[in-house]
Amino acid sequence: MTSTQITSQVRIGDGRVGQSALRPDGTLKVTGEFAYSSDLWHDDMVWGVTLRSPHPHARIVSIDTTAASAVPGVSAVLTADDVPGVNAVGLEHLDTPALATGVVRYEGEPVALVAADHPETARRAAKRIVVDYEVLPALTDPRRALDADAPLVHADGNLVRSMQIRRGDPAPTAPVVVALDFEVGMQDQAFLGPESGLAVPAEDGGVDLFVATQWLHVDQTQICRVLGLPPEKVRLTLAGVGGAFGGREALSVHVHACLLALRTGRPVKMSYARDESFHGHVHRHPAWLRYEFGAQPDGTLVYGKADILFDGGAYASSTAAVVGNGGTLGLGPYAIPNVRVDARGVYTNNPPCGAMRGFGCVQAAFAHEALMDALADRVGVDRVEIRGLNGMRLGDSNITGQVIDSAAPVRELIETVRDMPLPAERSGAADIRELPGGVSNTTHGEGVVRGIGYAVTYKNVGFSEGFDDYSTARVRLEMTAGEPVATVHTAAAEVGQGLITVEQQICRTELGVERVVVHPKDTTVGSGGSTSASRQTYVTGGAVKAACEAVRASVLARVDVPECRLEGDKIVSAHGEVVASLAEVLGSGAVEETVEWRHRPTREIDPETGQGDAHVQYAFSAHRAVVDVDVELGLVKVVALDTAQDVGKAINPDAVIGQIQGGSAQGMGLALMEEIVVTDGHVRNPSFTDYLIPTILDMPPMRIAVLEYADPHAPYGVRGVGEPPTISSGPAVAAAIRAATGRALRRVPVRPEHITGT
Amino acid sequence: MRISLTVNGNRHDVDDVWEGESLLYALRERMGLPGSKNACEQGECGSCTVYLDDVPVCSCLVAAGQAQGRSVTTVEGLASDERLHPVQQAFLECGAVQCGFCTPGLIVSTHDLLERNPAPSDPEIREALAGNLCRCTGYEKILDAVRQAASQ
């Protein structure tokens, strides 16, 4: 195993694995020529818009579309009655109507669609649709969802999933006991590219959909069911994606654009405005957490207990898997012999919640890290030391009894961030832009207190609990204009993270070529699985590597010399002698191989004990946050936010650092400012005016230490990168504010009044 | 209505513009220039930043009619002779681009900053770019890119 801190960045190198190759789409993106899903355009296209429910819970008595249809320029008005197939979509449960039928279960639920020749015409026509609602009692407090008298959101009850984990002594005791309650608000992915796409009706009665999404094939399955069409008639191509972070895993415009295109016979473009986007995708689950640690007087954990409630909102989306993560990973990266965890996800009439970066672990980490600090303080052990003391190590079992069989460097990670240089103490006349309140000029340093906080986390990589988590890659090698060219084709979504760069790097490494063409992502190749769970470099990377190996084997089989390799336009022996030119071997033909690749299987956990090998890989990170807090006004300025993370192998070091910095920013956002405020089922802040994400003024400098302890089970030893930093950064920021203020701060985002106590 | 304006040095006469349309919509949907982005259309994110005459504006907050007879420069107009502008080159090389949806607005805003202040300090960079939201990068590599562009 090796451990390296990446301090200087290799920008281009030879473009192979381990080099910071540049993005192949970078030039198009800096010139404005890259085609995002909202940039698409087609001759004769019309615009689709969605009419949404104004009520969190209501019965639809009637819908009258007469006036809307009569608006000049309108080409279609659709309701649930116009759905040709099964009016149900959903990632895990088919509980979500494509268009509401009979009842609406959340504010913002799609009720009707309009297509018109101008988006404003369509919006105005939608306002002329008359929907007669009978308002029903709304269930908006998830803590009441399982009460006997709670309104039912769905006929079969309000429980989406409950899981329990029982390990060791069922009634453990310990000399030291600490406990706390914690609450996490609803976060939004706030990707910048709006939900959008273009559906083009085809002559065969099918449809071609160009859309920003995270998993083309599961989209396709869901769309086919609603349209009543076979997969060969519903063809998807990934349009340019302006960020995702989980928010594009569930459907948005997909089915609606196809329905309108098939009805009108014209290409249909849909693109949400920002206020609609806040209603148009699932959010991160708000959570209520009750935690207890029992420990020896030296701080060694004896037991851990947790009770976690996730508000799933009106439809399940991926709530069941979020419960699975919250439960199985909810006590953090610590070795704990006795465990009792209960995690539940419930239906309410609040906005639906589903996938967001960190998926079930983000909420839990705020609680277990706050509690670990409380334990450290109680037993008088340093907050870094107590994490090192209890941190998992290689060979330990986690709370589901799974043995951690590759690196678990908790102590090294937390000590690495501790040992990084601290920012200079403030002295004299500070630049107000670097103080809490900034150019609001609320302080020149008076009343400002500095605090330091730490947090560690671990996160599963890939899909878990027995899911058949595979990816497909097709790789082709041929001579073009005298030069060997590889073409890599997967359906794995590039959402900005840099997967296409990684795909190119793997092809260059395995096939010895320089030029690698990335085929458009579409459904003409097998599924790549979801761009989520930090899994694509591992799983689609594994598939591309395997396909390259198959291509290489096929080419080398044509020369009768053992142990050769491909290098540029030549086939070279183990002794470095040129055996043949690739042009001779390939001629005018091509070698193409398609491989479906799987990681090690995972297993369902035992329903009674929660024990089992639920996850395929774990990724660890630690953060140290330094904050300045204006304790009189409750304003916070994060001064430094430093990370150490084990990535197994950095395929592209620059992109790894970019993932860690961006993920850290999103975690900090949840700690300080990001919350969808929902009152009685109504979203109160659906705009970037009122839902705040960190700006460049909010973000501090970030030092990153990248550790590379190869996972022997993973291609190149990689470990998923994207999610851990989003999990550990927020708890570190919250801890730092607690350190500065002495306040308990048992809720995030931390608001000024929580700090001032007013 | 018809509007006539100059965009990236080329005269455009645009017909059938509805009075309520923004300059952003007209650029994207009527002039074939979708480089300016539509992340919020509320004037909060900066992704639609363009020069109106010589002043950077959120084109989503400018009515298309207000651009009548004026000169607009978008991100598509910054490169010349097939060569990237140094700001574009710096964003590309520094890894300041992930999903890239904020990039066009940030490049125009950075271009404006460096026109006004060729050697900005870090606080000056942060203040100048505070109106441009990025959700992918955490801004560190954007700062790297601005510093690199300023050094050239």
* Nearest in space to A459 (alpha carbons), one of A418, A413, A491, A424: A413
Q: Has residue A516 got a pLDDT over 50?
A: yes
Min Cα–Cα distance to chain B from A737, Å: 20
Q: In the prediction, which pLDDT does A560 show? A: 86
* Interface test mutation site (partner B, options A10, A28, A31, max chain B beta carbons within 10 A): A31
Of B45, B91, B138, the CB nearest to A699: B138
Residues of chain A contacting B90 with CB distance shorter than 8 Å? none
Q: Which two tokens stand for residue A440?
A: 């609001």
pLDDT number for residue A758: 86
A697 contacts in B (CB within 8 Å)?
126-127, 130
Q: Is A26 left (phi over 0), alpha (psi -120 to 50) or beta?
A: alpha
Among the three residues B30, B58, B77, which one is the final residue of a domain in this structure?
B77
- The pLDDT, as a whole number, for residue A13 is 64
Enumerate domains of chain A plus CATH numbers: 6-35+470-598 (3.30.365.10), 40-136+194-241+248-280 (3.90.1170.50), 287-463+605-756 (3.30.365.10)
Do B63 and B109 share a structural domain?
Answer: no
Q: Mean pLDDT throughout A325-337?
A: 98
pLDDT at A10 over 60: no
* Domain end residue (candidates: B45, B77, B109): B77
- Looking at chain A, the whole-number percentage of residues with pLDDT higher than 90 is 96
Q: Average pLDDT, stretch A173-194?
A: 98
**Dist CA A152 CA A148 (whole Å):** 10
Residues B145 and B100 in one domain: yes
Q: Domain check: are B94 and B117 in the same one?
A: yes
Q: How far is A273 from chain B (nearest CA, A)?
A: 6
Query: What phi and psi values does residue A496 have, to the nearest 5 degrees?
Result: 125, -15
Q: How confident is the model at residue A12 (pLDDT cuts 50, 70, 90)?
A: low
Point out the residue among B123, B132, B139 whose CB comes nearest to the CB of A699. B139
The C-alpha of B81 sits at a distance from chain A's nearest C-alpha, in angstroms, of 13
Predicted pLDDT at B133: 98
Subunit contact A662:B98, Cβ cutoff 8 A: yes
What is residue A430's predicted lDDT score, i.e. its pLDDT? Answer: 76
Residues of A whose CB is below 8 A from B29: 41
Name chain B contacts of A193, Cβ cutoff 8 Å.
37, 39, 99, 101
- Taking the CA of residue A89 and the nearest CA in chain B, the distance in Å comes to 27
Contact criterion met (CB < 8 Å) for A192 and B130: no
Residue stretches of chain B with pLDDT short of 50:
none
| Residue matched to tokens 């209501």 | A58
Cβ-nearest to A26 among B40, B97, B139:
B97
Co-location of B22 and B61 in the same domain: yes
Which candidate in B59, B98, B122, B141 is best for mutational testing of the A interface (most A CBs within 10 A)? B98
Query: Domain boundary residue among B77, B105, B127?
Result: B77
Nearest residue to A166 via CA among A319, A306, A322? A306
Residues B35 and B7 in one domain: yes
Contact between chains at A661 and B140 (C-beta distance less than 8 A): yes
Which two tokens mark A109?
Answer: 């639920």
Verify that B72 and B14 share a domain, yes or no: yes
Query: What are the phi and psi torsion angles at A638 (to 5°)?
Result: -80, 125
B131 with B96, same domain: the answer is yes
How many domains, chain B? 2
Contact B42/A658, CB-based, under 8 Å? no
A7 pLDDT more than 70? no
On whether both B106 and B139 belong to a single domain, the answer is: yes
Helices (H), A487-620: 499-511, 536-556, 582-586
Q: Are residues B7 and B72 in the same domain?
A: yes
**Terminal Cα distance for chain A, rounded:** 52
How many Cβ atoms are within 10 Å of B78's Cβ, its own excluded?
22
Q: Give the chain B residue whose CA is nearest to the CA of A20.
A: B95
Torsions phi, psi of A103, nearest 5? -150, 150
pLDDT at residue A501 above 50? Answer: yes
- Cα angle A171-A175-A179, degrees, rounded to a multiple of 5: 70
Give per-residue pLDDT as tens, A361-389: 999 999 999 999 999 999 999 999 999 99
Q: Which of A274, A664, A687 has its CB closest to that of B138?
A: A664
Task: Indicate whether this model's pTM tops 0.90.
Answer: yes
B133 vs A439: CB contact, 8 Å cut-off?
A: no
Least confident of A225-229, A438-442, A716-720: A438-442
**pLDDT at residue A696, as a whole number:** 98
- For residue B81, the model assigns a pLDDT of 76
Q: How confident is the model at residue A8 (pLDDT cuts 50, 70, 90)?
A: very low
pLDDT computed for residue A1 by the predictor: 34
Give yes or no for a contact between A495 and A193, defined as CB atoms under 8 angstroms apart: no
- Chain A residues whose CB is inside 8 A of the B93 CB are 11, 22
ipTM: 0.99
Whether the Cβ atoms of residue A498 and residue A662 lie closer than 8 Å to each other: no
Q: What is the DSSP string of B49-112?
A: EEEETTEEEEGGGSBGGGGTT-EEE-GGGS-BTTB--HHHHHHHHTT--SS-SSHHHHHHHHHH
Whether residues B96 and B128 share a domain: the answer is yes
Determine the residue of chain A that is closest to B16 in CA distance.
A118
What CA dihedral angle connects A692, A694, A698 and A703, to 10 degrees?
160
Judged by average pLDDT, the poorest of A12-16, A126-130, A179-183, A486-490 is A12-16
- Claim to verify: residue B37 and residue B94 sit in the same structural domain: no
Please report, as a single letter, which amino acid is at residue A583. Answer: A
Query: Does A427 score more than 90 pLDDT?
Result: no
Q: Over chain A, what is the mean pLDDT?
A: 96
Residue A497 to residues A26, A96, A544, A700, B95, Cα–Cα distance (Å): 12, 29, 17, 21, 11
CATH number where B128 lies:
1.10.150.120
B18–A120 CB contact, under 8 Å? yes
Residue A754 neighbours by CB distance under 10 Å: 18
Name the residue facing B39 among A118, A193, A245 (closest C-beta). Answer: A193
Measured between beta carbons, the chain B residues lying within 8 angstroms of A725 are: none
Q: Are residues B104 and B44 part of one domain?
A: no
Find the CATH number of the domain harbouring B29.
3.10.20.30
Res A4 pLDDT > 90: no
Mutation for B interface: A23, A27, A39, A192, most B CBs within 10 A: A192
pLDDT at A743 over 70: yes
The encoded tokens of residue A93 equal 């449960």
Q: How many CB pairs under 8 A join A and B?
A: 180
> What is the reported pLDDT for A568?
94
A2 has a pLDDT exceeding 60: no
- Residue among B98, B130, B141 minimizing CB distance to A697: B130
Range of the domain at B65: 3-77
Q: Name the residue facing A243 among B36, B88, B99 (closest C-beta).
A: B99
Q: Per-residue pLDDT tens for A386-417? A: 999 999 999 999 999 999 999 999 999 999 99
